[in-house]
Each structure stands twice: as C-alpha cells, then as structure tokens.
A and B are shown apart, each in its own frame.
Chain A
Amino acid sequence: MPVTTIGTAQVHVDAEGFLTDYDEWSEGLAVQLAAAIGIDLTAAHWKAIRFLREDFKAQGETATIRRVCTLGGIPTKQLFALFPKKPAKKMAYIAGLPKPLGCV
C-alpha cells in the first residue's frame, strides 16, 4: 500500500490516491485533499463530506450520489455543482473513503 504526503501528513492510499485507512482522515486533511483536486470547501461541501463519513461508519461502504441525495438531503444538481463532473468519486476522495461500489 503506497504512502503519500498530503500537506504535511503521511497517509496510506491505494494506487489512484484514495485513502485506505478511515482513521487517518481529519477535517484538516480534507481541506488539503480538496485543494489537491481544485476544490475550496464551503459549508455546502462539508455537509456532503460529513454525511459520507457518518454513512460509511454505519454502513461500511461509500454512499452513492443517489444516497447522498435521498438520505443526506443534498439535491443531485447541487452535488454536480459542488463537485463538478464526477461528484461521487470527488466526494469519496475528499472524505478519505474508497470509491463507491454501488451502480445507482
């Protein structure tokens, strides 16, 4: 498992760069992860990120866009505006979680 440096932190990641250890994540790290993919986190971003973290803790897998929309209460359109082009993967990356496995 590669180790990479995000900001000042050393974290374990997979080959693409997604964090592999839930507990190595922190809110400070999220800011750095977001910056690495060109996103400045606002309150609206944080709502999604925090939902993903909580949902993963409860479910053991990363929420899909639909789940963030229906259970997290953030409309799909807004997710595409906050995390352009690839919201599911970008949210997962910033939240320090694996890519979602679900199809829908």
Chain B
Amino acid sequence: MITQAVPAIVPNFDDGIGAGRKLAIICSKGNLDMAYPGLILANAALGEGVETHLFFTFWGFDMITKSRMRDLKFTMLGNTATHLPQGLGGLPGMTAIATHQMKKQIHDIGVPDVPEFLEQIVASGGHLWACRMSADMMHLTKDDLYEDVEGIISASDFIEKTEDAQLLFI
C-alpha cells in the first residue's frame, strides 16, 4: 500500500506578498464623517501586520487637538449624499442634530469615538504624526495635542519616514 503525505492546509500568515508592506495615511479633514475613513483603514492595516503612519494636517489637525478631538462635527451642508434639501442643513441647530445622529450610529455598531480609536491604533503599533506647518499656523504646540502623537514634523520628514509606503490622502 502506498501512503501519500499530503501537506496540511495552513494559512500563510507571515510570508505573504504583503510582508514588509507600509501604509501612509494623510488625514486632512476635520469633519466627523471624514475622520473615520483614515482611522478605520489604519486600524485594518495594523490588524494585517502593515506598518502604518498617519499624518494629520490642516483641518485634520482637529482629530488630534485635545480641545477639539471629542467635538468633531458632521454637517449636511454641501453633502448631497444625505438626499435631503440643502436648505435644511442651514437651519440653526441642524449640524448639532446631524452630528448627534451620526455619533449614535457609529456608537451603535461598536466603533469607538475619535480619541479611543486613536488609542486603539497606537496600541496596535500605529504611528501618529502632526504637521509642522499646521501647528505653526494654528499656534499649537505638542502640549495641545493628543499625548500619543509622536512628534510635530515637516512634510519632508513624513515623506522620508514613509519611504516605499503606499499612500492614502483623505
């Protein structure tokens, strides 16, 4: 009788084509709805073992500014995807209502708020960088920023740190 040794089917976790992959995400928006894509993709990349760097610039600075990071807003204005009359979005209090609703929807599916999400990203090995020019423009120092931001760096420094990385601009 001939027995044939068949290799066990085992997932290839460590030596895939993605080994050594790096991802750079530039977060340039301060709206609640535009904060999440970068956070979710960073978290997903880290969970796949991808070295991930986030660079916060311009309005994206709100995501890491202590006084604002808990208070990002969502507005219907200029966003046709709500499929509601644009005039409605301009009514007093409408941005607050829309923000409240979106925060509730995010919370209901078990996704954390911005500070907690950043904490999770850092715990997963992600790197947070603040843009030098934005800090200078807004007169902010490292003390004003979320404590796990590793540094305030120039655009060139970020480009240097993310050599060979894939890049997302959000």
Contact = CB atoms under 8 A, between A and B. Distances in A.
Interface of A: 2, 4-6, 13, 15-18, 36-38, 65-67, 69-70, 75-77, 80, 84-90, 93, 102-104
A67 B112 CA distance: 11
Contact of A89 (B8, B11, B125): B11
B: contact size bracket: 20 to 34
A6 B8 contact: yes
A93 B13 CA distance: 10
B35 to A, nearest CB: 13
Contacts of A84: 49
14 contacts: A4-B6, A5-B8, A16-B9, A36-B8, A37-B11, A67-B110, A76-B120, A85-B13, A86-B13, A86-B47, A88-B47, A102-B110, A103-B111, A104-B110
A86 B48 contact: yes
Interface residues of chain A: helix, strand, loop or mixed (majority): mixed
Given A65-B47, A88-B47, A90-B13, A104 B111 contact: yes
Given A18-B11, A93-B11, A75 B123 contact: yes
B34 to A, nearest CB: 17
A4 B11 CA distance: 12
A102 B110 CA distance: 10
A6 B49 CA distance: 25
A88 to B, nearest CB: 5
